[in-house]
Structure 1
Amino acid sequence: MGSSSVLAVSHPSLHFVSSNLLVSAKLSYPLNTFQLKTSKTPTLSSSSSLPSSCLSVLHKSLPLAASVVILLSSYPAKAGFLSGFSGIESVPGPELPQIDFLSRFNEQNQKKYAENDARFRDTPLLKKLLEKSKLNKEKNRQDIQDKYCIRGAEWGVGDCSAEAMSPEEKDNFISMLKQKAGMKND
Protein backbone atom coordinates (compact mmCIF):
# COMPACT_ATOMS: atom_id res chain seq x y z
CA MET A 1 0.00 0.00 0.00
CA GLY A 2 1.27 3.45 -0.80
CA SER A 3 1.24 6.25 1.71
CA SER A 4 -0.26 9.64 1.07
CA SER A 5 0.91 12.96 2.43
CA VAL A 6 -0.49 16.48 2.34
CA LEU A 7 1.87 19.42 2.03
CA ALA A 8 0.91 23.12 2.15
CA VAL A 9 3.45 25.33 0.42
CA SER A 10 3.48 29.15 0.76
CA HIS A 11 0.32 31.08 0.74
CA PRO A 12 -0.33 31.69 -2.98
CA SER A 13 -0.35 27.96 -3.78
CA LEU A 14 -1.24 24.64 -2.19
CA HIS A 15 -0.07 21.19 -3.28
CA PHE A 16 -1.53 17.82 -2.37
CA VAL A 17 0.91 15.04 -3.10
CA SER A 18 0.29 11.35 -2.92
CA SER A 19 2.28 8.40 -4.19
CA ASN A 20 0.65 8.48 -7.62
CA LEU A 21 -1.44 11.67 -7.87
CA LEU A 22 -0.35 15.32 -7.69
CA VAL A 23 -2.99 18.04 -7.31
CA SER A 24 -1.73 21.61 -7.51
CA ALA A 25 -3.77 24.78 -7.07
CA LYS A 26 -2.26 28.18 -7.80
CA LEU A 27 -3.64 31.69 -7.90
CA SER A 28 -2.04 34.00 -10.42
CA TYR A 29 -1.94 37.52 -8.91
CA PRO A 30 -1.78 39.78 -11.99
CA LEU A 31 -4.57 37.98 -13.83
CA ASN A 32 -6.55 36.91 -10.76
CA THR A 33 -7.13 33.50 -12.29
CA PHE A 34 -7.34 30.24 -10.43
CA GLN A 35 -5.61 27.24 -11.98
CA LEU A 36 -6.18 23.71 -10.79
CA LYS A 37 -3.91 20.97 -12.17
CA THR A 38 -3.96 17.26 -11.59
CA SER A 39 -1.31 14.96 -12.91
CA LYS A 40 -0.10 11.43 -12.30
CA THR A 41 3.29 11.10 -10.71
CA PRO A 42 5.48 8.16 -11.58
CA THR A 43 5.20 5.28 -9.14
CA LEU A 44 8.05 3.09 -7.93
CA SER A 45 6.15 -0.13 -8.09
CA SER A 46 2.95 -1.32 -9.68
CA SER A 47 1.58 -2.47 -6.34
CA SER A 48 1.69 1.01 -4.78
CA SER A 49 -1.72 2.46 -5.58
CA LEU A 50 -4.00 4.56 -3.39
CA PRO A 51 -6.89 2.86 -1.66
CA SER A 52 -10.29 4.10 -2.78
CA SER A 53 -10.94 5.69 0.64
CA CYS A 54 -7.79 7.86 0.35
CA LEU A 55 -8.70 8.80 -3.19
CA SER A 56 -12.22 9.77 -2.13
CA VAL A 57 -10.83 11.89 0.76
CA LEU A 58 -8.43 13.54 -1.67
CA HIS A 59 -11.24 14.35 -4.11
CA LYS A 60 -13.45 15.68 -1.30
CA SER A 61 -10.66 17.89 0.03
CA LEU A 62 -10.07 19.58 -3.33
CA PRO A 63 -12.84 22.19 -2.89
CA LEU A 64 -11.52 22.90 0.59
CA ALA A 65 -8.03 23.38 -0.80
CA ALA A 66 -9.34 25.73 -3.48
CA SER A 67 -11.22 27.76 -0.85
CA VAL A 68 -8.13 27.98 1.35
CA VAL A 69 -6.04 29.16 -1.60
CA ILE A 70 -8.55 31.89 -2.42
CA LEU A 71 -8.83 33.03 1.20
CA LEU A 72 -5.12 33.06 1.87
CA SER A 73 -4.19 34.80 -1.33
CA SER A 74 -6.65 37.70 -1.14
CA TYR A 75 -5.00 41.08 -1.03
CA PRO A 76 -6.39 44.63 -0.99
CA ALA A 77 -7.24 46.19 -4.32
CA LYS A 78 -5.15 49.04 -5.63
CA ALA A 79 -7.18 52.25 -5.66
CA GLY A 80 -5.63 53.68 -8.79
CA PHE A 81 -3.30 56.30 -10.11
CA LEU A 82 -4.80 59.33 -8.36
CA SER A 83 -5.85 57.74 -5.09
CA GLY A 84 -4.91 60.07 -2.30
CA PHE A 85 -4.84 63.12 -4.59
CA SER A 86 -7.28 65.60 -3.05
CA GLY A 87 -8.39 67.02 -6.37
CA ILE A 88 -8.05 70.14 -8.43
CA GLU A 89 -10.49 72.11 -6.29
CA SER A 90 -8.02 72.07 -3.39
CA VAL A 91 -5.36 73.85 -5.43
CA PRO A 92 -5.55 77.62 -4.90
CA GLY A 93 -6.08 79.65 -8.04
CA PRO A 94 -3.84 82.46 -9.17
CA GLU A 95 -4.10 85.86 -7.53
CA LEU A 96 -6.09 88.22 -9.75
CA PRO A 97 -4.98 91.82 -10.08
CA GLN A 98 -6.94 94.29 -7.97
CA ILE A 99 -8.40 97.18 -9.92
CA ASP A 100 -9.18 100.22 -7.77
CA PHE A 101 -12.18 101.28 -9.84
CA LEU A 102 -13.82 97.85 -9.49
CA SER A 103 -13.05 97.68 -5.76
CA ARG A 104 -14.72 101.07 -5.12
CA PHE A 105 -17.70 100.09 -7.32
CA ASN A 106 -18.09 96.83 -5.36
CA GLU A 107 -17.98 98.66 -1.99
CA GLN A 108 -20.61 101.17 -3.12
CA ASN A 109 -22.89 98.39 -4.31
CA GLN A 110 -22.49 96.49 -1.03
CA LYS A 111 -23.46 99.61 0.96
CA LYS A 112 -26.47 100.24 -1.30
CA TYR A 113 -27.64 96.60 -0.95
CA ALA A 114 -27.26 96.72 2.86
CA GLU A 115 -29.33 99.93 3.06
CA ASN A 116 -32.05 98.48 0.81
CA ASP A 117 -32.18 95.28 2.90
CA ALA A 118 -32.53 97.27 6.14
CA ARG A 119 -35.26 99.43 4.63
CA PHE A 120 -37.14 96.34 3.36
CA ARG A 121 -36.94 94.62 6.76
CA ASP A 122 -38.72 97.60 8.31
CA THR A 123 -41.64 97.67 5.83
CA PRO A 124 -45.13 96.94 7.14
CA LEU A 125 -45.71 94.42 4.32
CA LEU A 126 -42.81 92.20 5.41
CA LYS A 127 -43.81 92.44 9.08
CA LYS A 128 -47.37 91.44 8.17
CA LEU A 129 -46.15 88.47 6.08
CA LEU A 130 -43.81 87.28 8.85
CA GLU A 131 -46.63 87.43 11.42
CA LYS A 132 -48.93 85.53 9.06
CA SER A 133 -46.23 82.92 8.52
CA LYS A 134 -45.86 82.39 12.29
CA LEU A 135 -49.62 81.95 12.68
CA ASN A 136 -49.75 79.50 9.75
CA LYS A 137 -46.89 77.52 11.21
CA GLU A 138 -48.71 77.12 14.54
CA LYS A 139 -52.00 76.29 12.78
CA ASN A 140 -50.33 73.67 10.57
CA ARG A 141 -48.60 72.13 13.59
CA GLN A 142 -51.93 71.89 15.42
CA ASP A 143 -53.66 70.41 12.33
CA ILE A 144 -51.00 67.71 12.06
CA GLN A 145 -51.29 66.97 15.78
CA ASP A 146 -55.08 66.67 15.50
CA LYS A 147 -54.80 64.38 12.47
CA TYR A 148 -52.41 62.03 14.30
CA CYS A 149 -54.61 62.09 17.41
CA ILE A 150 -57.66 61.04 15.35
CA ARG A 151 -55.66 58.30 13.65
CA GLY A 152 -54.34 57.08 17.02
CA ALA A 153 -57.88 56.98 18.43
CA GLU A 154 -59.12 54.97 15.43
CA TRP A 155 -56.22 52.52 15.57
CA GLY A 156 -56.09 52.32 19.37
CA VAL A 157 -52.49 53.54 19.77
CA GLY A 158 -50.76 56.59 21.19
CA ASP A 159 -51.93 59.29 23.56
CA CYS A 160 -55.43 59.51 22.04
CA SER A 161 -56.08 55.77 22.15
CA ALA A 162 -59.70 54.79 22.74
CA GLU A 163 -59.07 51.10 23.42
CA ALA A 164 -60.43 51.15 26.98
CA MET A 165 -63.68 52.77 25.86
CA SER A 166 -66.85 51.00 24.83
CA PRO A 167 -67.63 51.06 21.08
CA GLU A 168 -70.24 53.81 21.59
CA GLU A 169 -67.89 55.97 23.69
CA LYS A 170 -65.10 55.38 21.14
CA ASP A 171 -67.32 56.58 18.25
CA ASN A 172 -68.39 59.67 20.24
CA PHE A 173 -64.76 60.45 21.15
CA ILE A 174 -63.56 60.12 17.54
CA SER A 175 -66.44 62.28 16.22
CA MET A 176 -65.63 64.93 18.87
CA LEU A 177 -61.97 64.92 17.76
CA LYS A 178 -62.98 65.24 14.11
CA GLN A 179 -65.37 68.09 14.92
CA LYS A 180 -62.60 69.88 16.88
CA ALA A 181 -60.21 69.43 13.94
CA GLY A 182 -62.84 70.65 11.46
CA MET A 183 -63.08 67.35 9.59
CA LYS A 184 -66.25 65.71 8.31
CA ASN A 185 -67.62 62.76 10.26
CA ASP A 186 -67.90 59.54 8.26
Structure 2
Amino acid sequence: MAGRVFLAVPAAVSLSLVLWSSPVNAGILSGFSGLESTPGPDLPRLEFLEKWNAENQKKYAEFDNRFKKSKVLQELLEKSKKNKEKNERLIQDKYCLRGAEWGVGDCSTEGMTDQEREDFISELKKRTGAE
Protein backbone atom coordinates (compact mmCIF):
# COMPACT_ATOMS: atom_id res chain seq x y z
CA MET A 1 0.00 0.00 0.00
CA ALA A 2 2.80 2.46 0.93
CA GLY A 3 4.65 1.67 -2.34
CA ARG A 4 1.59 2.64 -4.36
CA VAL A 5 1.31 5.99 -2.57
CA PHE A 6 4.97 6.82 -3.29
CA LEU A 7 4.41 6.11 -6.99
CA ALA A 8 1.03 7.82 -7.21
CA VAL A 9 2.08 11.17 -5.67
CA PRO A 10 4.83 12.05 -8.22
CA ALA A 11 2.64 10.87 -11.07
CA ALA A 12 -0.27 13.03 -9.89
CA VAL A 13 1.96 16.08 -9.46
CA SER A 14 3.47 15.63 -12.94
CA LEU A 15 0.08 15.17 -14.51
CA SER A 16 -1.32 18.26 -12.80
CA LEU A 17 1.62 20.41 -13.98
CA VAL A 18 1.20 19.25 -17.56
CA LEU A 19 -2.55 19.74 -17.66
CA TRP A 20 -2.91 23.00 -15.75
CA SER A 21 0.21 24.96 -16.65
CA SER A 22 -0.48 28.12 -18.59
CA PRO A 23 1.74 31.04 -19.58
CA VAL A 24 2.31 33.59 -16.89
CA ASN A 25 1.01 37.08 -17.51
CA ALA A 26 3.02 39.95 -16.11
CA GLY A 27 -0.09 42.00 -15.61
CA ILE A 28 -0.16 45.74 -16.04
CA LEU A 29 3.58 46.01 -16.74
CA SER A 30 3.70 43.37 -19.49
CA GLY A 31 5.12 44.85 -22.66
CA PHE A 32 6.58 47.88 -20.82
CA SER A 33 10.23 48.21 -21.78
CA GLY A 34 11.28 49.82 -18.53
CA LEU A 35 12.65 53.13 -17.33
CA GLU A 36 16.09 52.44 -18.78
CA SER A 37 14.80 52.75 -22.33
CA THR A 38 13.22 56.16 -21.89
CA PRO A 39 15.55 59.03 -22.77
CA GLY A 40 16.44 61.40 -20.00
CA PRO A 41 16.06 65.15 -20.16
CA ASP A 42 18.62 67.19 -22.08
CA LEU A 43 21.14 68.70 -19.72
CA PRO A 44 22.08 72.33 -20.16
CA ARG A 45 25.30 72.86 -22.08
CA LEU A 46 27.81 75.09 -20.40
CA GLU A 47 30.17 76.77 -22.85
CA PHE A 48 33.14 77.04 -20.49
CA LEU A 49 32.92 73.31 -19.65
CA GLU A 50 32.84 72.35 -23.33
CA LYS A 51 35.84 74.62 -24.01
CA TRP A 52 37.71 73.18 -21.03
CA ASN A 53 36.91 69.62 -22.18
CA ALA A 54 38.13 70.36 -25.73
CA GLU A 55 41.40 71.80 -24.36
CA ASN A 56 41.90 68.74 -22.16
CA GLN A 57 41.23 66.36 -25.05
CA LYS A 58 43.77 68.24 -27.18
CA LYS A 59 46.32 68.13 -24.35
CA TYR A 60 45.77 64.38 -23.78
CA ALA A 61 46.14 63.65 -27.51
CA GLU A 62 49.42 65.59 -27.49
CA PHE A 63 50.66 63.62 -24.44
CA ASP A 64 49.69 60.34 -26.13
CA ASN A 65 51.59 61.25 -29.30
CA ARG A 66 54.63 62.30 -27.30
CA PHE A 67 54.54 59.03 -25.34
CA LYS A 68 54.15 56.90 -28.48
CA LYS A 69 57.20 58.58 -30.01
CA SER A 70 59.29 58.43 -26.83
CA LYS A 71 62.63 56.65 -26.85
CA VAL A 72 61.77 54.58 -23.78
CA LEU A 73 58.64 53.13 -25.37
CA GLN A 74 60.47 52.36 -28.61
CA GLU A 75 63.20 50.53 -26.66
CA LEU A 76 60.62 48.53 -24.72
CA LEU A 77 58.77 47.58 -27.90
CA GLU A 78 62.03 46.44 -29.49
CA LYS A 79 62.93 44.35 -26.42
CA SER A 80 59.47 42.85 -26.46
CA LYS A 81 59.80 41.92 -30.13
CA LYS A 82 63.21 40.28 -29.53
CA ASN A 83 61.91 38.38 -26.50
CA LYS A 84 58.94 37.15 -28.51
CA GLU A 85 61.19 35.82 -31.26
CA LYS A 86 63.53 34.21 -28.71
CA ASN A 87 60.66 32.57 -26.83
CA GLU A 88 59.10 31.27 -30.05
CA ARG A 89 62.43 29.67 -31.00
CA LEU A 90 62.79 28.17 -27.53
CA ILE A 91 59.32 26.63 -27.71
CA GLN A 92 60.06 25.23 -31.17
CA ASP A 93 63.29 23.72 -29.87
CA LYS A 94 61.48 22.11 -26.92
CA TYR A 95 58.92 20.52 -29.24
CA CYS A 96 61.73 19.40 -31.55
CA LEU A 97 63.56 17.80 -28.60
CA ARG A 98 60.41 15.96 -27.55
CA GLY A 99 59.85 14.76 -31.12
CA ALA A 100 63.45 13.60 -31.40
CA GLU A 101 63.25 11.66 -28.13
CA TRP A 102 59.99 10.02 -29.16
CA GLY A 103 61.05 9.52 -32.78
CA VAL A 104 58.12 11.40 -34.30
CA GLY A 105 57.50 14.65 -36.18
CA ASP A 106 59.85 16.90 -38.11
CA CYS A 107 62.72 16.24 -35.70
CA SER A 108 62.38 12.47 -35.81
CA THR A 109 65.63 10.58 -35.48
CA GLU A 110 64.50 7.74 -37.74
CA GLY A 111 67.33 6.64 -40.01
CA MET A 112 70.09 8.14 -37.84
CA THR A 113 72.81 6.09 -36.28
CA ASP A 114 72.92 5.88 -32.51
CA GLN A 115 75.82 8.35 -32.36
CA GLU A 116 74.09 10.86 -34.66
CA ARG A 117 70.91 10.54 -32.61
CA GLU A 118 72.74 11.16 -29.33
CA ASP A 119 74.59 14.16 -30.80
CA PHE A 120 71.37 15.62 -32.20
CA ILE A 121 69.48 15.21 -28.93
CA SER A 122 72.36 16.61 -26.85
CA GLU A 123 72.52 19.69 -29.13
CA LEU A 124 68.76 20.21 -28.70
CA LYS A 125 69.13 19.85 -24.94
CA LYS A 126 71.87 22.51 -24.94
CA ARG A 127 69.63 24.87 -26.94
CA THR A 128 66.67 24.41 -24.61
CA GLY A 129 68.73 24.39 -21.42
CA ALA A 130 67.47 20.92 -20.51
CA GLU A 131 70.95 19.75 -19.50
- Normalization by structure 1: what TM-score? 0.49
- Give the match for residue 118 of structure 2: 171
Distance change (3 Å), C-alpha of 1:88 and 1:129 = farther
Q: CA deviation at 1:114?
A: 0.6
- Give the match for residue 102 of structure 1: 49
Give ranges in structure 2 of 5+ residues lacking alignment. Answer: 1-10
Distance, in Å, in 1 between the alignment partners of 2:122 and 2:92 is 16
Look up the equivalent residue of 2:107 and give its one-letter code. Answer: C
Distance, in Å, in 2 between the alignment partners of 1:159 and 1:85 is 64
Look up the equivalent residue of 1:142 and give its one-letter code. Answer: R
- Give the match for residue 86 of structure 2: 139
Q: CA deviation at 1:34?
A: 3.5
Q: CA deviation at 1:86?
A: 7.8
Give ranges in structure 1 of 5+ residues lacking alignment. Answer: 1-26, 36-72
- Which structure's CA Rg is the greater one? 1
* Structure 2 residue matching 1:33: 3-state secondary structure: helix
- Give the match for residue 63 of structure 2: 116
May I ask how many residue pairs the two structures share in their alignment? Answer: 115
Q: Which protein, 1 or 2, shows the higher relative CO under an 8 Å CA cutoff with sep ≥ 6?
A: 2
- Give the match for residue 51 of structure 1: none
Q: CA deviation at 1:80?
A: 8.2
Greater strand content: 1
- Normalization by structure 2: what TM-score? 0.66
Aligned with 1:151 (options 75, 78, 98): 98
* Structure 1 residue matching 2:124: 3-state secondary structure: helix
Look up the equivalent residue of 1:178 and give its one-letter code. Answer: K
Q: CA deviation at 1:87?
A: 7.6
Greater helix content: 2
Distance change (3 Å), C-alpha of 1:160 and 1:105 = same
Aligned with 1:33 (options 7, 11, 14): 14
